[in-house]
Structure 1
Amino acid sequence: MLALLSVPALASPTQAAVPVYRGPQVFHGQAFDTCSAPALSLLRAWRRSSPYGALGIYIGGTNRGCSQPRLNRAYVQQATAMGWRLLPLYVGAQAPCVASPHGRGERIGYWSGFTQGQNEGADAVRAARALGLGASSPVYLDMEAYVRDRGRCSLAVLRYTTAWSRIVHSGGYLAGFYSSASSGVADLASLSAYREAALTSTAQQNGLPDVIWYARWDRRDSTDGYRALGAGQWSGHRRLHQYLANHVEDHGGQGLLIDRNAVDAPVAVVG
């Protein structure tokens, strides 16, 4: 059983340019994500000929793997005008026991994870605002697969994630969480079940993410939760499933290396 988190008081991100509340927008269908935001010409071609209606974009974080020469406010507006729905991802510090090769950058400290989560949550809010993402947009924390130990490493991830989520909530955004079904998602599901049994309050009050994006490369276009999520956990348009990774596709004469995702979840509010 995972230890109950001790949660200190939280600092809020700057209140400048607070996004206007419009309410969550939910997308149900196919999405792809790729390391660097693709050219608008590719998005135009894929919009006409691919099965996808949503796109994952990496908006920031110390461990964001690729440069983003195209990604700015104008890009977000133009992609949205084409009909694309956007899934913003933030790649912050990774688990102390992260699986190789993702452990080369910043890692969560066993004792500093809460503060790291606060600081990087504030950075995620700034990044979302800079791109013009409105209130109630989700920001998905990308926590790559790690060796789940139900002990020090798992607890460090949960402290970081709950601190990050609370700061993102305080900035007016929904907190999402991406990870492997067998590590980060399994740890969050265990914590959620523990707190539900203890009759604690809502996800936003206790620091749990609002939306879960689980990676399970089983080629199943489904958000049924695999075996990582219980039937009632993050149900009701709050799940995504990355079911195929590192796959090259060509649509409209333009090819790209992508991951495939099934989506029944909130997307960015733009405009």
Structure 2
Amino acid sequence: MPTVSQMQAFWSNTPFSNFGLYIGGADLGCPSTPDASWLSRVQAMGWQFMPIWVGPQAPCSSEPVRMSWDTGTARQQGRNEALAAYRRMVALGMNTTSAPVVFDLENYNTADSACVNAVKSFVQGWVEQMHVAPAQKAGVYGSTCASGLSRLAEISTPPDFVTGAAWDGNRNTGVMPCVDSGLWTNHQRHKQYAGDHNETWNGVTLNIDSDCSNAPVYPGPDQLNTGQGCVGAALQSAPRDAALVTPRFGWLLTGDELLLSHDGGDTFAPAKLHLPGGGAQAALFRDERRGWVASAGPGGITVARTSTGAATWSTTTIPTNSGIGALRLAFRDANHGALLAQIATSKAFSRAELFTTADGGATWTARTAPVAGDIAVDPDGRLRLTGGVGHDEVYTSTDDGRGWRRGASTRAFATTGAARTTYADQRTGWTLASTGSCANGKRDCSIGYDLEATTDGGSTWRPIRQWQQRVN
């Protein structure tokens, strides 16, 4: 939960107006929830909120608290959760009349008809109770595909609005994979178009999700529906990651392509590579010839590998039914590697799928990931996973992901600066940093990205590539 001062930094001269507010629920994974004082002080700044309740999940899911398989019982459970959320809002001092509340529905097996029917009955009860006077507006959050949002339109009293998680970089709330464009069309959609990532505004860095709003918020009306909008083109051009592998060779990943440099970053050339889905989402090179690139699409996760310096590529597809968000790659040698696939989910959870390879990426084996986050290889060959709900959990594996041991927690996130820095040796490295700014209050906002290089161990840096991306 951000502090009041951090919320102020993300309010003044930023594009943000709404904040997803976790207020409770038996399956809540957030480390903290607000109190009435925090809410009052932050609301006074001008913030609006999307109250979120994280109750029992689908009976066929792996979540710790689950709803009943029996549809009658599930319907009553939905009513009970709506009443509990209402009481929590009252305790926070909120005006509950017509206030929106989002039920967080995580991924589950939507091919299981009995499970789908239980979820639909639960949501039916949630909506029915929310509509009891003084009525609230009942919403549901979930992966647009893996939470079966479209199936909720089939119940007799469907949700008043939805928040769809589709981490495709497309800010248009009208574009939600697996949800028909004719559903929830009258200012009834929020869209989570990017998963957790660091952004820096006014010198403060927070790990956030990116959402666009075209649906109810508290207190309304939604400021984003009155001139600013949030339906621009997909955010494809910004850099996603970069690394310097040798003093002369490095790679740069944008939303559109993989770029390679053989002169320390003075020039870049695109790799001859096409991947399905939204372009490359993760890359890793061990040297100038051997590298891997991963992308998630409707058919699963595609991993491309090269041993010819990107002149030729071979691909492998890993089937998965989950809505995939961020991807991370780590290799301890030319053969043994790991792929961490974060499941597109609310920030209340930290879920991921893990796959390992022992043949350089030709085949992959599913493993268990304790949390979502970043994966790396320590100098002694151990896999290290850093992440979790608070971004401060550390796990290590000495058997390529078959088992994990939790270590001491780390700091959750930085409060100043936001950079990804890699060194090819003690003196030569790259850093990729970003900072947001607005030229006119909450309008004319953009994020500036800088890729900089050092040849003196970080004492001085020179820019080698810069981007400016409009965000409203």
Q: TM-score, normalised by structure 1?
A: 0.75
Q: Give the superposition deviation at 1:108.
A: 1.1
**1:244 touches 1:259 (CA, 8 Å); kept in 2?**
yes
Alpha-carbon separation, structure 1, partners of 2:215 and 2:78:
23
The answer to whether residue 193 in structure 2 is matched with residue 243 in structure 1 is yes
The answer to whether residue 214 in structure 2 is matched with residue 264 in structure 1 is yes
The answer to whether residue 111 in structure 2 is matched with residue 149 in structure 1 is yes
Select which of 100, 104, 111 maps to 1:138.
Answer: 100
Q: Give the superposition deviation at 1:246.
A: 1.5
Letter in 2 for 1:75: W
The answer to whether residue 52 in structure 2 is matched with residue 93 in structure 1 is no
Superposition pairs for residues 61-76 of structure 1, below 5 Å?
Answer: 61-68=25-32, 71-76=34-39
Q: Which has the higher helix share?
A: 1
Q: Give the superposition deviation at 1:133.
A: 2.1
Select which of 165, 172, 178 maps to 1:222.
Answer: 172
Alpha-carbon separation, structure 2, partners of 1:218 and 1:225:
10
Alpha-carbon separation, structure 2, partners of 1:258 and 1:72:
20
**1:95 touches 1:156 (CA, 8 Å); kept in 2?**
yes
Please give the secondary structure, in 2, of the residue aligned with 1:51.
coil
Letter in 1 for 2:151: D
Q: Which has the higher strand share?
A: 2
Aligned residue number for residue 118 of structure 1: 79
Aligned residue number for residue 135 of structure 2: 172
Please give the secondary structure, in 1, of the residue aligned with 2:131.
helix
Q: Give the superposition deviation at 1:233.
A: 1.5
Q: Give the superposition deviation at 1:228.
A: 2.9
Please give the secondary structure, in 2, of the residue aligned with 1:148.
coil
**1:143 touches 1:184 (CA, 8 Å); kept in 2?**
no
Aligned residue number for residue 54 of structure 1: 18
Q: Give the superposition deviation at 1:186.
A: 2.5
- Structure 1's consecutive aligned runs of 4 or more residues displaced over 4 angstroms after TM superposition are none
Q: Deviations over 1:180-203 (max 9, x none)?
A: 1113313213x16xxxxxxxxxxx
Q: Deviations over 1:12-34 (max 9, x none)?
A: xxxxxxxxxxxxxxxxxxxxxxx
**1:163 touches 1:207 (CA, 8 Å); kept in 2?**
no
Can you give the 5+ residue segments of structure 1 that lack an aligned partner in the other structure?
Answer: 1-36, 193-205
Alpha-carbon separation, structure 2, partners of 1:63 and 1:208:
23
Aligned residue number for residue 199 of structure 1: none
Q: Give the superposition deviation at 1:143.
A: 0.3
Alpha-carbon separation, structure 2, partners of 1:269 and 1:133:
9
Alpha-carbon separation, structure 1, partners of 2:185 and 2:198:
31
**2:150 touches 2:180 (CA, 8 Å); kept in 1?**
no
Aligned residue number for residue 43 of structure 2: 80
Aligned residue number for residue 446 of structure 2: none
**1:150 touches 1:187 (CA, 8 Å); kept in 2?**
no
**2:123 touches 2:152 (CA, 8 Å); kept in 1?**
no
Alpha-carbon separation, structure 2, partners of 1:42 and 1:227:
33
Please give the secondary structure, in 1, of the residue aligned with 2:135.
coil
Letter in 1 for 2:150: A
**Closer, same or farther: CA 123–223 of 1 in aligned 2, 3 Å:** same
Select which of 251, 255, 258 maps to 2:205.
Answer: 255
Please give the secondary structure, in 1, of the residue aligned with 2:210.
strand
**1:136 touches 1:269 (CA, 8 Å); kept in 2?**
no
**1:165 touches 1:209 (CA, 8 Å); kept in 2?**
yes
Q: Deviations over 1:48-103 (max 9, x none)?
A: 1432111001001101112325x1222222111101111100000001222xxxx3
Q: Deviations over 1:128-176 (max 9, x none)?
A: 1111222111000000111212510111111111101111121421001
Superposition pairs for residues 173-212 of structure 1, below 5 Å?
Answer: 173-182=136-145, 183-189=147-153, 191=154, 206-212=156-162
**1:177 touches 1:213 (CA, 8 Å); kept in 2?**
yes
Can you give the 5+ residue segments of structure 2 that lack an aligned partner in the other structure?
Answer: 221-472
Higher relative contact order (CA 8 A, sep 6+): 1
Please give the secondary structure, in 2, of the residue aligned with 1:267.
coil
Alpha-carbon separation, structure 1, partners of 2:2 and 2:54:
18
Please give the secondary structure, in 2, of the residue aligned with 1:80.
helix
Who wins on radius of gyration, i.e. which is larger?
2
- Aligned residues with identical type, % of pairs: 33
